[in-house]
A = this chain, B = another copy of it.
Amino acid sequence: MTQPKAVVLLSGGLDSSTVLYGAKAQGYQLFALSFDYQQRHQRELQAARAIAHQAGVTEHRVIQFDLRQWGGSALTGETAIPQDRPLAVMGEGIPVTYVPARNTIFLAFALAYAEATGAGTVLLGAHIQDYSGYPDCRPDYLAAMGEVYRLGTKVGREGQPIQLIAPLIQLSKREIIQLGDRHGVPWALTYSCYQGRELACGRCDSCLLRQQAFQDLGREDPIAYDTPS
């Protein structure tokens, strides 16, 4: 039997790395896809490359385009990244780190990549903590995108739609770490910080959520931080 192929959206953070290693454990041939959209935190691309290499993917593509040109987000513009926000506050409303239609763009490229390489599955690391804030991580959005996958491609029209799956959607960050542990995710290679400096800041929402999750499990986050955590 032919090995099934999957396209995995890989940012280099905890979630997408867990998805990649989970897909590896399930026996998929792996096609990793990352994006250089002139985001502030291009450091994450280094992490994505290291993890893709470590996981032994068949191919890792990095698509380049520039989302700075129209701004609209703290991740691509000059707006400051919020620091030291309490976890309870993070869940309120849509954060300034929201990038207009970013996941729609990512998932569109993933669909193209999957169709061109003959992959039947696209895997995305969206999960329950994300969709408190980001509109394009929520289940109803992902279902709508699944319809676009079904109707918008040659393979879908011919009866073999590419499946869009978010395997972590119901998990908390803590549960994701536990799952990643089982699949041997090399946490020390991951990078989550929104600031994008060589060392993670330890103060943005992304760093704080990550540190909290490791702490809840009674463990230390193995990456180095710029500030003592």
Contacts and interface: CB of A to CB of B under 8 A. Distances in A.
A103 B148 CA distance: 11
Given A100-B112, A101-B111, A153-B136, A65 B64 contact: yes
Interface in A24-66: 61, 63-66
User: Oligomeric state, in number of copies?
Assistant: 2
A117 B153 contact: no
Q: What is the predominant secondary structure among interface residues of chain A facing chain B?
A: helix
A197 interface: no
A135 B109 contact: no
Given A136-B152, A141-B148, A105 B100 contact: no
Interface string A74-116: 0000000000000000000010001111111101110111011
A144 B135 CA distance: 17
A94 to B, nearest CB: 5
Interface residues of A, number: 44
Contacts of A66: 63-64
B70 A117 contact: yes
A111 B104 contact: yes
Interface of A: 61, 63-67, 69-72, 94, 98-105, 107-109, 111-113, 115-117, 135-136, 138, 140-141, 144-145, 147-148, 150-154, 156-157
